[in-house]
Each structure stands twice: as C-alpha cells, then as structure tokens.
Amino acid sequence: MFYELMQSQTQTIMLARARFRVEYIFKVIDPPVVPEEKEQPKRSQIVFLGVILGMFLGVFCLLIRHYSLDSRGGK
C-alpha cells in the first residue's frame, strides 16, 4: 500500500513537471524573428481593388435592376 502511494505521488510530480516544461516534446531549432519589412499584400492595394470591385458590382446590380424593371413593364 505504501509503495502504491509513493508511485502515485511520483507519477503526479512527473506529470506536473512535464506540463510546465516548454521543450518536453518539441525542441526549438530556430527562434522566431520579427521581419524588418512588411510583405505582401499592401493595404493600399487592398483598398484600391476593393473600391474598383465595389464599383463594378454596384454598376452590375444597377444594370440588372434597370433591365429587370423594363422587362416587367415597369417605369
């Protein structure tokens, strides 16, 4: 009985140590580094493409609405 108690306590201590150890499973080969310059995509390109695509979508919706009203005999 005393041996089982020691075994369970030892197991608990080993699990506690394993949880707090960072390199338990993985070993860090190369630490992360913050890049010096930003990479793609650039914010200005995203905004420009969004505006252009929004305008095309808006014109397309207006054309569909205009011709669908004309075909139903509206206006």
Total number of domains in the chain: 1
pLDDT for the residue 37: 82
Is the residue at 64 inside a domain? yes
Put simply, whether the predicted model's pTM sits higher than 0.95 gets the answer no
Confirm if 49 and 55 have CB atoms less than 8 A apart: no
Is the residue at 26 inside a domain? no
Confirm if 18 and 24 have CB atoms less than 8 A apart: yes
pLDDT for the residue 30: 84
Report pLDDT digits (tens) over 46-56: 999 999 999 99
Question: Which residue positions in the chain have pLDDT lower than 70?
Answer: 16-26, 70-75
Q: Which domain holds residue 67?
A: 43-75
